[in-house]
Structure 1
Amino acid sequence: MNMHDLPEELMHWSPEAEAGVIGGLLVAGAEAYDAVADLVGADFFAVGLFSSAYRIIESQVLAGKPADLVSVYEALRGSEEDAARTLLELNRCTQAYVGMRVLRQHALIVSEKAASRALQRAAGEIQGIAADETIAVGDRISTAQATLEKVAQPAAKSVPMPVASFVAGFIDRLQEIADGTVQPGIPTQIPTLDRMLGGGMKGGKQYIVAARPSVGKSSLAQQICLNFAEQGHAAAMFSMEMGCPELTDRTVANMGRVRLDAIGDGKLNDDEWGRVSEAIERMRGLELYFDDQPAMSLGDIVAKARALKRKHNLKLLAIDYLQLCASGKVGDSRHHQIEEISRGLKALSKQLDISIVTLSQLNREVEKRASGRPVLSDLKESGAIEEDADVVLMLWRHKVGQFANTIGCAVPKNRQGKVGELALHFEGAHQRWTESTESLAEPMKKLGGGNRYTEDF
């Protein structure tokens, strides 16, 4: 086979290693397949004949059938001219096989050469992306990063292991949690919720917080971000609904116990001015990040999150809110756009090992119920939101008071913990959330003049 007849990207290959692997499979069959299946696949071979041969061998082995030279040759042969060349190449492969001792090393070479070719292809794709001025620069950068990421982190293959092999790691992890040297999760500082979550929020998980407008989902997400930051963990809130100045106002109101309306109109008393100063000093040391770019795309979110992870070891990202995100696929239905964004955020949480709190609107069906309690089917625009979530929190206004509201919080989905309900205490004046001792069994009622503060927009 003439190397100069190959496309440029196929110059990154090792004919000897590829022939050695195929030869080993033809000679040793299932034993050889078991030795290399975690390293290579049919697409790893530069030569089409070898790629086709691997697919046939793999299907034969998995079906419990022979995968010898004659069987594979019969499956591959075409015209008489092709058949002669095929037989010649397969015979050459069996001669290149030098034993099981080096078979895995040959497979590793094939894998590395395949990665080299993939890198070269990615470089070409990135060059094309960079030149396409019909796409916004930010989206081009995000697409280029994603293209390179596929090469840097290919889908890992694993080998099934007996449960006994995980026991030692389990005991060590359990002991570390019991000793307090490792946290099972980062606490939200809402005790009942933390117990339901098995100690707090965990990396690699997506948490959906859903509610109708003006119930308080944005404020609750900001409280959780603030609680993370006060524990020394970097947290960020990407808000497509509120500007950074407004998020800052709410943070000062929360940390200084200063009335939000007083911050808005500047009519603070001497005591409140002092508390504002104290809050600002505390805020200077917090790793709490805000971004108010409107209509962020998934690419925007991914690029910003990766930068925060790299520079500040981001632990929590809140997205406010899902239905305001933009999609690059303009022609798709909104249902499919939301599905793509939801699944992309779930993948991002696993790639970066961070907790992602994604806020979502509920549809109007909630308002038709006397109880006001939402259910999973109320999630707006896409069933993928429910499917992709590890945990779903659903909020409703249970009791409206003059100075504070009681907000019901249902946890109808929790992949690795308890489901149930808890009551939350919300002080609108200070944008502050804590756990409530109220019973959610009581009917919704209004006390006094009602809460004057808008919790959400």
Structure 2
Amino acid sequence: MIDYWKPEAEQGVLGAIMKLALEGDDGGVEDIVGQLSSGDFYHPDNAALFDAIVDCRAQGIPVDAVTLGSIQRDLPSGERVMVYAVTLTRDVPSTANAMTYARHVKDWSVLRQVINIGQQAAAQAVEGLPASSIIEAAHSTMADLRDLQGAGKAGYKRMADVIPVVLNTMDDTLNDRAPPKLSTGLVDLDKLIGHLRQKSMVVIAGRPGSGKTMLALQICQHVAVRGRGIALVVSLEMGEEELTVRAIASQGGIDLRRMEEVKCLDDDEWTRIGAASSQIKESDLFLIDTPGLTVAAIRAEARRLQRNHGLDVLMVDYVGLVASDSKAPNRAEAVGKISTALKNLAKELSVPVLVLAQLNRNPASRPDKKPRSSDLRDSGQIEQDADLVLLVHHDPESEAGQQGVTELILDKGRQAPTGSCLVQRQGQYARFVNFAGDRMPSNEEVEMGRTFASKFKGKRS
């Protein structure tokens, strides 16, 4: 790798940290240390010294050459930590430019990674890998640089500065200038959760076959087709053709089994298929079915879509199949990091992210068989990260379950009280409809019942 680095910046920032510590400027030390990591330093000795500084602070020990030498005796080069620390502290001219040194170290760290990405792409091209695979790998890695480039930009602000934003939003709502609220398309579910909120992570969980994928896909379809919004479905389980067939069946009210028997379809069914296909073609409903995607890759695709077309809702099916790009010691910790990354992605994109999750077998042992948030499989971090936890409960052994009655349980809601609502499962059409008591609603009644569609007026910017 080409030696693109700035030794004077790395040594300067380390010397400045130690001089600020000697001067008792703990705030100045915190400002610098909070922006950097040992990975930002090119020279191993500088990276090791920075780690020793962080260790000192974590243990509440004052930072100076002697304490650093007690934390770590030698540097990777063999030089004594205390000797090197004394030299850097003595040679730094002033602490006034400490933040500039830190910015240079960060910039050169990013530059080295950009160069490394290009070198890796060149090596993969020599190996004969497909161009599409090389581009995707490079694109995903570049997405991770967002965190490096954005470091140091976060900070506190007075709540008073946020009040005008809140009041303006309320005024827009009062005067019908606010963008329409995102609806699920199911009346009772909208009443239960309020609406799909920006920056929220909505976990939709259930046992296999409960209908969680059907529900989430239907919500995305409603936003894109009925609401004229923009939805992205990331499916790590189903292929794009299966997802599209389900969307056509749901939109047109065609039996899924009949769609597999093409030669047996009658004229009315072909008409419905044509109408549903036209509606989907005119919508902004996007799909990704690439298996084994990491959160970084999902982020890169979502940001690209948002930049090119916009984005109103993102669906990830499901969290247990998202590939981990960390060296977590176990699966629970890996899934926990993935969950937190998806929560951060919702805030970054400022859209609701529907995260599908599996449940363990605990509900089967309960008398009512109803699931709880604590039944989420793989990691308890999923429940902690979620703004809403919606559990799909369908008991096929009960009389109501045999009639397709499904309970949607809101077991956690940051801005909505817990509760539940009933919906009618129409599995043959791959959809849920508003619950209408003891009778099964007809297709015409289903379409008439989708009253929230009228709230969407044009695409959101």
Q: Normalising by structure 1, what TM-score?
A: 0.72
Partner of 1:227: 222
Partner of 1:301: 298
C-alpha distance in 2, partners of 1:119/1:262? Answer: 55
Letter in 1 for 2:308: K
Q: Percent identity, aligned pairs only?
A: 25
C-alpha distance in 2, partners of 1:363/1:85? Answer: 54
Letter in 2 for 1:359: L
- In the alignment, which of 196, 201, 208 is matched to residue 213 of structure 1? 208
| Aligned positions of 1:145-156 closer than 5 A | 145-154=142-151, 156=153
C-alpha distance in 2, partners of 1:298/1:88? Answer: 43
C-alpha distance in 1, partners of 2:411/2:424? Answer: 20
Partner of 2:106: 115
C-alpha distance in 2, partners of 1:88/1:332? Answer: 39
| TM-superposition CA deviations, 1:143-194 (whole Å, max 9, x none) | 52244333332253313x4433332222122222333322485222334433
Alpha carbons of structure 1 residues 348 and 118: separation in structure 2 relative to 1, 3 Å: same
C-alpha distance in 2, partners of 1:295/1:77? Answer: 44
Q: Report if the CA contact (8 A) 1:297-1:327 is conserved.
A: yes
| Aligned positions of 1:78-157 closer than 5 A | 106=97, 109-127=100-118, 129-130=120-121, 131=123, 137=133, 140-141=137-138, 144-154=141-151, 156-157=153-154
C-alpha distance in 2, partners of 1:431/1:169? Answer: 41
* Correspondence 1:341 to 2:338: yes
* Correspondence 1:433 to 2:421: no
1:52 CA drift (Å):
7.7
SS state at 1:144 partner: helix
Pairs aligned (count): 418
Partner of 2:449: none
| Aligned positions of 1:254-403 closer than 5 A | 254-266=250-262, 267-327=264-324, 333-397=330-394
| TM-superposition CA deviations, 1:108-144 (whole Å, max 9, x none) | 5334322322223313543564447799946743552
SS state at 1:121 partner: helix
C-alpha distance in 1, partners of 2:235/2:94? Answer: 60
1:391 CA drift (Å):
1.4
Q: Name the stretch that deviates more: 217-226 or 393-402.
A: 393-402
| TM-superposition CA deviations, 1:418-437 (whole Å, max 9, x none) | 22111112222322323325
Q: Name the stretch that deviates more: 110-119 or 139-148.
A: 139-148
Letter in 2 for 1:257: G
Partner of 1:166: 162
C-alpha distance in 1, partners of 2:11/2:236? Answer: 55
| TM-superposition CA deviations, 1:343-402 (whole Å, max 9, x none) | 332233333333221222212221222312101222122222222222111011266669
SS state at 1:429 partner: helix
Alpha carbons of structure 1 residues 285 and 21: separation in structure 2 relative to 1, 3 Å: same
Q: Report if the CA contact (8 A) 1:238-1:319 is conserved.
A: yes
1:91 CA drift (Å):
7.4
Alpha carbons of structure 1 residues 291 and 126: separation in structure 2 relative to 1, 3 Å: closer
Alpha carbons of structure 1 residues 400 and 122: separation in structure 2 relative to 1, 3 Å: farther
RMSD over aligned CA atoms reads 4.7
Letter in 2 for 1:200: L
Alpha carbons of structure 1 residues 273 and 36: separation in structure 2 relative to 1, 3 Å: closer
C-alpha distance in 1, partners of 2:295/2:128? Answer: 18
Letter in 2 for 1:214: G
Letter in 1 for 2:173: I
C-alpha distance in 2, partners of 1:182/1:329? Answer: 40
Letter in 1 for 2:106: A
C-alpha distance in 1, partners of 2:85/2:293? Answer: 53
Letter in 2 for 1:223: Q
Structure 2: 5+ residue runs without aligned partners? 71-79, 441-461
Partner of 2:242: 246
Alpha carbons of structure 1 residues 424 and 170: separation in structure 2 relative to 1, 3 Å: same
Q: Name the stretch that deviates more: 109-118 or 24-33.
A: 24-33
Q: Report if the CA contact (8 A) 1:188-1:200 is conserved.
A: yes
C-alpha distance in 1, partners of 2:378/2:81? Answer: 54
Partner of 2:445: none
Letter in 1 for 2:332: H
Letter in 2 for 1:219: M
1:299 CA drift (Å):
4.7
SS state at 1:395 partner: strand
